[in-house]
Structure 1
Amino acid sequence: MLYKFKGGALTRIFALKSNIRISQQAIAASHRYKRSLSVVMFDIDFFKRINDTHGHDMGDEAIKHIAKILKMSSRNADCVARIGGEEFVLLLPDTDRAGAFKLAEKLRDRISKKPLDVNGKFIDITVSAGVSYVKEHHDTIESALSEADDALYKAKESVRNNVQLA
């Protein structure tokens, strides 16, 4: 599966070309300098229910809400990207598998405790996440994302609102 990074006005996250270039540079640096690199993929739980119950405008607000929390909780060196309708990725340089899991769990918890407030209307939102650690056999971002996506799928299949390791 080829992952295409999205960006733009809705989330104010990097555009497609920047994300691919940044991720490939991060993988190359990780291999060359033997530095840790992890990938976390997040997906908004029951996003269709938000759209169906509250309307697509509220779905857009939910996406912006999650993007804002992820950006505000990330380091300058991290890359936050939107890769699908309600899916996000964090590329975490100098972060090992345990550190990425800990951060993903912290963000999952933060999101679950901060409902979306739109003009006094509060909507609880949760996310599930999959964590992948970039290894030498990952030549491209797609291979690392595929492993994170598999872990995310396991998280969504279990109880949701949780984090799974690849």
Structure 2
Amino acid sequence: MKMSEGVEWALHTCLNLTWSPDDQAVPAGKLAAFYELPPAYLNKQMQALARAGIVTSTPGPRGGFRLARGPERITLLDVVVAIEGAEEAFRCNELLKKGPGADPGVDYRQACRISQAMRRADLAWRKELAGVTLADIKASVEEQHPATPGNTAHRFTALRS
């Protein structure tokens, strides 16, 4: 499975918002400038996060984005689903119905061993992402790189939107 680069951008942007000075809204232009990302495309990702209730959007000259809830209540899976959608990575099209000996009365999504294995793998992947919050990542980064919160807040203050 390959996720869009928007997932990486959204995850890093959400993490950076945890260090926003005084929990201020950060304009989309500043968020994009932080990693030299195309503002229009990052804004599209931010709007998807807003629709999912992960960030809030404040319009106007002092507007921008901020986290809608605490980082301990935002999982990596929340962000991935907001950007990529909730569909399973593998979609069983019941190919076995077209093979020799096919039984039209069988739900091959349930009977197919490949479909079952892929579903278990998808569930394991989702469980792993659901078990990691932005707060977990934030704590890990702050432990390994203590200057990051201050540097991020300073950069948001220094960047032009």
TM-score > 0.5 by shorter chain: no
With the length of structure 1 as denominator, give the TM-score of the two structures: 0.24
Q: Which has the higher helix share?
A: 2
Larger RCO (alpha carbons 8 Å, 6+ apart): 2
With the length of structure 2 as denominator, give the TM-score of the two structures: 0.25
Structure showing greater radius of gyration is 2
Q: Which has the higher strand share?
A: 1
